[in-house]
Chain A
Amino acid sequence: MELAERLLKGDKRACARLISLVENEDKEAVDILKKLYKHTGNAHIIGITGPPGGGKSTLTDKLAKMLRKEGKKIGIIAVDPTSPFTGGSILGDRVRMSDLTTDPGVFIRSMGTRGHLGGLSKGTQSAIKVLDIYGADYIFVETVGVGQSEVDIVKTADTVVMVMVPGLGDDIQAIKAGVMEIGDIFVVNKSDLEGADRTALEIEMMLDFKKHNGWRPPVIKASATEKTGIDNIIEKIKNHKNHMVKTGQFHIRREENIKLEILNLVKEKLMTMIAKKSNDSNEIDSLYKDVLEKRLDPYTARDKIIDLVKK
Chain B
Amino acid sequence: MSEKPIRVLVAKPGLDGHDRGAKVIARALRDAGMEVIYTGLRQTPEQIAAAAIQEDVDVVAMSILSGAHNHLFPKVVKLLKDQNADDILIIGGGVIPEDDIPGLKEAGIAEIFTPGTSTTEVIEYIENSVKKSS
Binding site for B on A (CB under 8 A): 12-13, 15-17, 19-20, 24-25, 82-83, 86-92, 94-95, 98, 101-102, 107-110, 112, 114, 275
Report the Cα distance A90→B10, complex, angstroms: 10
Given contacts A24-B2, A24-B4, 4 further A-B contacts (CB under 8 A): A17-B56, A87-B5, A98-B39, A101-B39
Whether B35 lies near A91 (C-beta < 8 A) is yes
Most A CB contacts (10 A, CB to CB) among B29, B33, B36, B37 go to: B37
Whether B26 lies near A90 (C-beta < 8 A) is yes
Write out the residue numbers on chain A whose beta carbons fall within 8 Å of the beta carbon of B83.
13
Tell me if B85 is interfacial: C-beta within 8 Å of chain A: yes
Contacting A16 at CB < 8 Å: which of B35, B39, B46, B54? B54
Whether B84 lies near A16 (C-beta < 8 A) is no
Report the Cα distance A275→B1, complex, angstroms: 11
Report the Cα distance A92→B44, complex, angstroms: 17
6 A-B contacts, Cβ less than 8 Å apart? A12-B53, A13-B83, A16-B55, A17-B56, A89-B35, A94-B37
Given contacts A16-B53, A16-B55, A108-B54, contact A90 B2 (CB under 8 A): no
What 3 A-B pairs are tightest by C-beta distance, nearest first? A95-B40, A88-B30, A16-B56
Report the Cα distance A12→B40, complex, angstroms: 22
| Closest chain A residue to B84, Cβ basis | A13
Given contacts A87-B33, A112-B5, contact A94 B53 (CB under 8 A): no
Write out the residue numbers on chain B whose beta carbons fall within 8 Å of the beta carbon of A110.
35, 37, 55
Report the Cα distance A262→B133, complex, angstroms: 36
Tell me if B114 is interfacial: C-beta within 8 Å of chain A: no
| Closest chain B residue to A26, Cβ basis | B4
| Closest chain B residue to A89, Cβ basis | B35
Tell me, rounded to whole Å, the shortest Cβ–Cβ distance linking B125 to chain A: 16
Q: List residues of B (36-89) whose CB comes within 8 Å of A's CBs.
A: 36-40, 42-44, 46-47, 50-51, 53-56, 83-85
Report the Cα distance A172→B99, complex, angstroms: 58
Report the Cα distance A86→B32, complex, angstroms: 6
Report the Cα distance A12→B50, complex, angstroms: 9
Tell me if B27 is interfacial: C-beta within 8 Å of chain A: yes
Whether B36 lies near A90 (C-beta < 8 A) is yes
Q: How many A-B residue pairs have CB under 8 A?
A: 86
Whether B40 lies near A94 (C-beta < 8 A) is yes
Whether A89 lies near B36 (C-beta < 8 A) is yes
Contacting B47 at CB < 8 Å: which of A86, A92, A98? A98
Tell me if B34 is interfacial: C-beta within 8 Å of chain A: yes
Whether B2 lies near A25 (C-beta < 8 A) is yes
Report the Cα distance A92→B23, complex, angstroms: 11
Contacting B55 at CB < 8 Å: which of A86, A88, A109? A109
Write out the residue numbers on chain A whose beta carbons fall within 8 Å of the beta carbon of B85.
13
Whether A90 lies near B30 (C-beta < 8 A) is yes
Report the Cα distance A90→B42, complex, angstroms: 18
Whether A101 lies near B51 (C-beta < 8 A) is yes
Report the Cα distance A82→B3, complex, angstroms: 14
Tell me if B100 is interfacial: C-beta within 8 Å of chain A: no
Tell me if B31 is interfacial: C-beta within 8 Å of chain A: yes
Whether B39 lies near A91 (C-beta < 8 A) is no
| Closest chain B residue to A21, Cβ basis | B56
Given contacts A16-B56, A88-B32, A110-B37, contact A102 B5 (CB under 8 A): no
Report the Cα distance A24→B6, complex, angstroms: 11
Write out the residue numbers on chain A whose beta carbons fall within 8 Å of the beta carbon of B38.
90-92, 94-95
Write out the residue numbers on chain B whose beta carbons fall within 8 Å of the beta carbon of A109.
54-55
Tell me, rounded to whole Å, the shortest Cβ–Cβ distance linking B78 to chain A: 15
Tell me, rounded to whole Å, the shortest Cβ–Cβ distance linking B11 to chain A: 10
Whether A102 lies near B46 (C-beta < 8 A) is yes
Write out the residue numbers on chain B whose beta carbons fall within 8 Å of the beta carbon of A108.
51, 54
Write out the residue numbers on chain B whose beta carbons fall within 8 Å of the beta carbon of A25.
2
Write out the residue numbers on chain A whose beta carbons fall within 8 Å of the beta carbon of B55.
16, 109-110
Whether A98 lies near B40 (C-beta < 8 A) is yes
| Closest chain B residue to A78, Cβ basis | B37
Contacting B31 at CB < 8 Å: which of A86, A98, A275? A86
